[in-house]
Structure 1
Amino acid sequence: MMSVFLYVILMTPLCMTSSMLVMQLSYLLILLMMIYMINCLEFFGFISYNLGLDIYSYYLICLSFMIGSLMFISMIGCYSIKVFSFLNFLLTISLLINFSCMNFLYMYISFEFVLVPLMVLVLGWGYQPERLMSGMYLFFYTAFASLPLLMLILFMNSMFSSLFFDYLILDSKLFLIHLILVLVFMVKFPMYLVHYWLPKAHVQAPVSGSMILAGVMLKIGGYGLIRVMTIYEYLFIEYSYMWFTFSIVGSFLVGLICLVQGDMKCLIAYSSVSHMGMVIMGLVTMSFWGLAGSYLLMLGHGFCSSGLFYMANMLYSRTLSRSFYLNKGLMTYIPSGSLVWFLLCAFNMSCPPSLNFISEFMILISIMSFWSYSLYLFGLISFLCACFSYYLYSYSFHGVYHSMYSFSSITVMEYLCVAIHLMPLIFIPVFMMNLL
């Protein structure tokens, strides 16, 4: 495991070389992901000091490698590409460290350090003047939720004299401790009621920032929640109904909000809130089906949402607008791109045979065992998800086109990037069926 990190860190000087070498970083990261997948198959193997692997972190690190490599492909034509690529590389490294830490304090430090390069990306390469306000939302939401957790970590260190996850077992029955441990990860998901920073950050961030934010950073919340569940199960069993209620009602309300959006990136960002609500519902049931379904949905959403943001940026770079009222009839200009956009929207609404369909089916089994009447609300949430995904596709590619813009066809590199997003969503379910 340490050899993989040394390989990643020694690739950093390439960011300060010529622009052509910067673009080679994407291929090097894909090569590194293949080396990692072959050499680190033994879980808990290759453990160095405070770093290790298990089944929860293994596939999330693969997702980080994949989305990180696609970020460098998306940087074509960006100004100040050397600094921009360095920040993206810093984001990738901090995410890899976060998913590999076996120590709670080191995980917290890497968890919070991700905020720094992301804020610089939003403030430096954002599209609108409102990026200053979105940066403030991102900073204060994260800071106010995470500072109490730092005090709790120091308290746990004084109690146990160790912060390794294997040694931390709490028997406290205080709801305040449960709230401090859980709230920081619910903000990072984000859960409904603490979600307002996400649409702000997504809309103002550049395309690579949106890709890493939707693809990997939202999964930090799920990964952290899985880790703290092992610290004490009793309070999760005691108070899981509260987070379940916020999530299932919030996913329904956010689905209604998606139907009144006029901005492509805003709709995709709110759809991420709805899907992450399903992940929370599956996790708090604390069953095998819920945990497995939530984990698979995090992986599926990582590829699908990142692909949607990349495709939305492709349209924005040509039409100079993300509004549904101006982006109409795009099938006339890019008929081949309409198929890719349709597949992404179909997978976003969890159509078979995508990974999202299998994961939502597993989550449905778990939440019905938790509360049988949740079937009806889950059906409404899935229906609204299908509605706003259809809305996203039909309003942009169908209708009467405007003569306000004209643009060239999509390049081979852009098709390659979208195809890499789509392949895991199709082939992972096929691989799972072969295993069964």
Structure 2
Amino acid sequence: MMKFILMMGFMMPLCLKKNMFWLVQMLLMLMMLMFMNLTLSIMNFCNLSYMFGCDMISYGLILLSIWISSLMIMASESLYKIDLYFNLFLFNVIFLLIMLYLTFSVMNLFLFYLFFESSLIPTLMLIIGWGYQPERMQAGMYLLFYTLFASLPLLMGIFYIYYEMNYMMMYFLKFYDYNLLMLYLCLIMAFLVKMPMYFVHLWLPKAHVEAPISGSMILAAIMLKLGGYGLLRIMIILQKINLKMSLIWIIISLIGGFYISLKCFCQIDMKSLIAYSSVAHMSIVIGGIMTMNYWGFMGAYILMIGHGLCSSGMFCLSNMNYERLHSRSLFLNSGMMNFMPSMSLFWFLLMSSNMAAPPSLNLMGEISLINSLMSWSYMSIILLMLISFFSAGYSLYLYSYTQHGKYNLGIYSFYNGTSREYLILMLHWLPLNILVMKIDYSMIWF
């Protein structure tokens, strides 16, 4: 595991040299291929080096991080063209990737907390440095304070665990089961804010709308998954207390997911709509993890990977429209099928994956999560039906509004799309739908 950290470390000086923009991206792709060839043990942590290791959960999320980071660089070509501090941008992306890699691979709880919080800094830099509107400072503050407010109790909780157990390795957590309410709340809240759960989700749409395309991609694809990853890891020591408390979180998540789905229909900003749809999807993931059964954990993991690819691709699409029209308003972006018919196909493909149509990973994840929540309580079917129905509803709403109808008469000429843009979209869509063939890897890691 250390060799990849060294590789990323040596990529940092490259970022600051001239004409290295595409080389860094190619090196990330190469690193992706190297990481895919790692030998994996399904049951245990493997590839141990120092205090880093990798099991099935971290393997998938690290792969996703490297993949999305290389696509972020690809999607940010406009920074390179107008020379908007792109060296610093590359440096920032690699630094963020190192932090994410360390978060997912480290086995020490305290170091996990340290890197979990450190990934916030480069994200904040992305939003404040390369964001769009003047409100990006406010969005950055939202992101910072929502996340930091809940993370100090997490640190206290980790110190308490160390005080009790005298070690912090994640692998040994399975020997303990704490039945303490305060510890439970301390450990869990930081991850619920990061997911984000309904009630503490306000930072997410704000951050997405103000962030540049690269910021939106990494926020949607990886930052939300940090919360899910933390929950999957920490639930092992909180089983008894979670049996009593899970009802609260599942109800908040399901009702919140339903409300947010309705909220999606009120949006007039494309990015805002996609951001709110992320909150709706993540609410089902929280519900699945809180049921604490095999289907729930498995479905949460699959949906996290699927949503990472799908949501990131949708942000790329909205950015491609933004680069041409300089507006993300749905009113100005209507009737785009007349101008960009080939792009319309990708809108359709990614929207269909977003509403969990086969053969996407989202479908497998949602089936597993619906199974888990149904086995927990039959009553949850009502809200699950509503969330699934409205999920299809707002995906269709966004697709039909942007692609069909009368186009804006102010538009007079622009190009259909470059090979780079179609490649980015293909690299989002293909893994999302091809990985279903190897779904057994996601099913048997428990």
TM bin (shorter chain): over 0.9
Amino acid at match of 2:433: I
2:215 aligned with 1:214: no
Residue 39 of structure 1 aligns to a residue whose secondary structure is coil
8 A contact 1:348–1:389 mirrored in 2: yes
Amino acid at match of 1:210: S
2:249 aligned with 1:243: yes
The equivalent of 2:155 in structure 1 is 150
Deviations 1:49-97 (A, max 9, x none): 2111111101111101110110110121211100011111111110000
The equivalent of 1:9 in structure 2 is 9
RMSD of aligned C-alpha atoms? 1.5
CA distance in 2, matches of 1:295, 1:242: 21
8 A contact 1:2–1:46 mirrored in 2: no
Amino acid at match of 2:152: L
Residue number among 199, 203, 209 corresponding to 2:205 in the alignment: 199
Structure 2's unaligned 5+ residue stretches are: none
Greater displacement, 44-53 / 94-103: 44-53
Calculate the TM-score normalised by the size of structure 1: 0.97
2:104 aligned with 1:105: no
Alpha-carbon spacing, 1:435–1:396, altered in 2? closer, same or farther (3 Å): closer
CA distance in 2, matches of 1:206, 1:143: 22
Deviation at 1:432, TM superposition (A): 3.1
Residue number among 122, 138, 144 corresponding to 2:143 in the alignment: 138
Deviation at 1:235, TM superposition (A): 1.2
Q: How does 1:33-432 map to 2 (within 5 A)?
A: 33-42=32-41, 44-78=45-79, 79-168=84-173, 170-405=176-411, 406-432=413-439
Residue 47 of structure 1 aligns to a residue whose secondary structure is strand
Amino acid at match of 1:25: V
Deviation at 1:403, TM superposition (A): 2.3
Deviations 1:84-114 (A, max 9, x none): 1111111111000000010001000000001
Deviation at 1:290, TM superposition (A): 1.0
Deviation at 1:9, TM superposition (A): 1.3
Deviation at 1:170, TM superposition (A): 4.8
Deviation at 1:2, TM superposition (A): 1.1
Deviations 1:304-327 (A, max 9, x none): 000000111110010000000111
Deviations 1:113-168 (A, max 9, x none): 01111111111111001111111111110111001111222222222221111334
Deviations 1:398-427 (A, max 9, x none): 111112123112100110010000001111
Amino acid at match of 2:38: N
CA distance in 1, matches of 2:133, 2:246: 39
Amino acid at match of 2:202: Y
Amino acid at match of 2:61: L
Deviation at 1:435, TM superposition (A): 11
8 A contact 2:158–2:187 mirrored in 1: no
8 A contact 1:185–1:222 mirrored in 2: yes
Deviations 1:193-233 (A, max 9, x none): 00000000000000001000101111000100011011231
8 A contact 2:285–2:303 mirrored in 1: yes
8 A contact 1:190–1:218 mirrored in 2: yes
Deviations 1:361-413 (A, max 9, x none): 11111111101111121011001001100011111111111121231121001
8 A contact 2:352–2:395 mirrored in 1: yes
8 A contact 1:50–1:101 mirrored in 2: yes
8 A contact 2:350–2:429 mirrored in 1: yes
Calculate the TM-score normalised by the size of structure 2: 0.95
